[in-house]
C-alpha cells in the first residue's frame, strides 16, 4: 500500500470511521531536468531571501499573509492545526445525493479511504453497503493543506473513494464560449448519432499512453547511441480547408464500422471520402465574374453544334442558372455536360426532319 497522505476519520450522524487516505492514481509521465547546454550542468531552483541573499532550506521557511505593503503576518502550522474547524481531522458527510446530480467539471483528484485498524472495519463496511444499496454518493467537507474542501464519496469495488471537488463559485460559466445559433440538417444530426453508436465501447481499459511509450523509445535510443525512431508517415491536413460535414460524417461512420468488422450500408458507401473545399478570400467575387464568360462560351458552343439560336439561348440560360448555384470549380463540368446534351439531341432532330420530308 502507498504511504498515507492523511489520517483522520469519516463521520456521518453519530458514526465515526477511522481511515487513512492514500492516492488512488499514479503519475507515469516522464519528467525532464533543465540543464546548461554548454556543459550539461543541472539548473537548480533555489529559495533565496531577498534581504540578505541567503539560500534557505525548507526548515527555515515559514508561511505568512501580506496584509499590506511591507507588512506580512506570519502563520505557523501549529496555529493552523488548532483552528476551531470541525473538519480539521474528519471527513464530515453533510448529505447524500444522486450521482447524476454532480457536475463532472467539479470533480478533482481521487483518493482511496483505507480502514485504520480493525475497529473501523464494521462501520466502514456499513457505509459502503449503504451507498451501494441506496445508489447514492456522499457529499462531505474536510480540511486539507490549510483549506476546507468539498468532497465526494462513492464506492469502487470494495473500497470507498474520496474525490476532491471544487466549490460552486470556482466553476466558470461557459456561456460566452458557446457558438451562436447554427442551422443543422436533421440528416446530419442523425448521422452524428449513428457515428456515436458505431464508436461506442463497453470498456475503455485498453487505452494506453502512446506519447509516453514513444518518449521512452526516444530516450532509450539516444542513451544507447542508436538511430532515433522514425516518425509515422501520413498526410497532414493543410490549414485553411473545410470539409463537407455530411460527407465527413458518412466517411467516419463507414470507417468506424469497418474497424468493428461491420459492413457499411449503401448510403455510407456512396458517401465515400469527405469533399474538401479551399477556403480562399474573394470567392464570391470570382464566381460573379465567371458567370458572363460562361454564358458567352455556352451560347457559342450550342450555336455551332445545333444551328438553332433560340434553343442555344435557352440552354445558355439554363447553364447560367446552374453556374450561379454551383461553385466556381464546378462551372467547367456544367458547361461540358450542356455541350454533350446538345450533341445527343441533334441527331434526334435530324431524324424527325427526314420523316416529315418522306411523308
- Predicted confidence at residue 273, as pLDDT, reads 45
Whether 338 and 300 have beta carbons less than 8 Å apart is answered as: no
Supply 133's cell numbers. Answer: 444499496
- Predicted confidence at residue 88, as pLDDT, reads 64
Supply 302's cell numbers. Answer: 450550342
pTM of the model as a whole: 0.56
**β strands within the chain, DSSP E:** 6-12, 15-23, 63-68, 71-75, 90-98, 107-115, 136-144, 147-156, 159-165, 241-243, 276-278
Q: Which residues on neighbouring strands pair with residue 336, listed in sequence order?
A: none
Q: Tell me whether strands 90-98 and 6-12 are parallel, antiparallel or unpaired.
A: parallel
For the chain, the maximum distance between any two Cα atoms, rounded to a whole number of angstroms, is: 121
Sequence-ordered list of residues with C-beta below 8 angstroms from that of 181, at least 6 positions apart, any chain: none
Whether 295 and 316 have beta carbons less than 8 Å apart is answered as: yes
Whether 264 and 253 have beta carbons less than 8 Å apart is answered as: yes
Whether 112 and 22 have beta carbons less than 8 Å apart is answered as: yes
CA distance 358 to 355: 5
- Predicted confidence at residue 127, as pLDDT, reads 95
- Predicted confidence at residue 299, as pLDDT, reads 44
Instruction: Give the model confidence (pLDDT) of 81-104 as tens digits.
Output: 777 665 567 899 999 999 999 999
Task: For 212-233, give one letter per residue: b (16+ CB within 10 A) or e.
Answer: eeeeeeeeeeeeeeeeeeeeee
Task: For 62-98, give one letter per residue: b (16+ CB within 10 A) or e.
Answer: eeeeeeeeeeeeeeeeeeeeeeeeebeebbbbeeeee
Per-position pLDDT tens, the chain of length 359: 678 888 888 988 888 899 999 988 888 888 899 999 999 999 998 999 999 999 999 999 999 999 988 899 999 888 877 776 655 678 999 999 999 999 999 999 999 999 998 899 999 999 999 999 999 999 999 988 778 899 999 999 999 999 999 999 999 888 888 788 888 888 888 888 888 888 888 888 888 888 888 888 888 888 888 888 887 765 555 555 556 777 777 888 788 777 777 665 555 554 444 444 444 444 444 444 444 444 444 444 444 444 444 444 444 344 444 444 444 444 444 444 444 444 444 444 444 444 444 44
Say how many C-beta atoms besides its own lie within 10 A of residue 149's C-beta: 18
192, burial (CB in 10 Å: exposed 0-12, middle 13-18, buried 19+): middle
Amino acid at each position: 500500500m502507498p504511504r498515507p497522505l492523511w489520517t483522520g476519520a469519516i463521520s456521518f450522524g453519530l458514526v465515526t470511521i477511522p481511515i487513512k487516505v492514500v492516492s488512488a492514481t499514479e503519475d507515469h509521465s516522464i519528467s525532464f531536468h533543465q540543464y546548461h547546454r554548454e556543459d550539461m550542468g543541472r539548473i537548480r531552483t533555489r529559495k533565496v531571501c531577498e534581504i540578505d541573499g541567503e539560500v534557505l532550506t525548507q526548515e527555515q521557511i515559514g508561511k505568512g499573509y501580506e496584509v499590506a505593503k511591507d507588512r506580512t503576518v506570519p502563520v505557523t502550522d501549529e496555529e493552523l492545526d488548532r483552528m476551531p474547524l470541525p473538519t480539521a481531522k474528519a471527513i464530515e458527510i453533510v448529505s447524500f445525493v444522486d450521482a447524476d446530480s454532480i457536475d463532472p467539471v467539479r470533480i478533482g483528484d481521487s483518493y482511496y479511504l483505507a480502514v485504520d485498524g480493525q475497529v473501523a472495519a464494521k462501520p466502514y463496511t456499513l457505509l459502503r453497503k449503504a451507498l451501494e444499496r441506496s445508489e447514492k454518493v456522499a457529499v462531505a467537507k474536510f480540511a486539507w493543506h490549510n483549506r476546507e474542501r468539498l468532497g465526494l464519496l462513492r464506492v469502487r469495488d470494495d473500497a470507498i473513494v474520496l474525490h476532491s471537488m471544487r466549490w460552486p463559485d470556482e466553476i466558470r460559466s461557459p456561456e460566452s464560449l458557446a457558438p451562436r445559433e447554427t442551422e443543422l440538417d436533421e440528416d446530419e444530426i442523425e448521422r452524428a448519432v449513428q457515428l456515436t453508436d458505431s464508436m461506442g465501447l463497453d470498456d475503455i481499459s485498453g487505452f494506453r499512453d502512446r506519447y509516453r511509450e514513444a518518449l521512452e523509445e526516444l530516450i532509450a535510443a539516444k542513451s544507447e547511441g542508436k538511430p532515433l525512431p522514425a516518425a509515422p508517415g501520413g498526410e497532414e491536413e493543410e490549414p485553411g480547408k473545410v470539409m463537407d460535414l455530411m460527407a465527413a460524417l458518412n466517411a467516419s461512420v463507414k470507417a468506424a464500422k469497418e474497424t468493428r468488422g461491420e459492413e457499411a450500408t449503401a448510403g455510407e458507401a456512396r458517401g465515400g471520402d469527405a469533399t474538401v473545399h479551399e477556403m480562399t478570400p474573394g470567392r464570391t467575387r470570382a464566381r460573379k465574374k465567371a458567370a458572363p464568360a460562361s454564358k458567352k462560351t455556352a451560347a457559342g458552343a450550342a450555336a455551332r453544334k445545333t444551328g438553332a439560336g433560340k434553343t442555344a439561348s435557352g440552354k445558355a440560360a439554363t447553364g447560367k442558372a446552374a453556374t450561379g448555384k454551383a461553385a466556381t470549380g464546378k462551372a467547367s463540368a456544367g458547361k461540358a455536360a450542356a455541350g454533350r446534351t446538345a450533341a445527343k439531341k441533334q441527331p434526334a432532330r435530324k431524324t424527325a426532319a427526314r420523316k416529315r420530308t418522306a411523308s
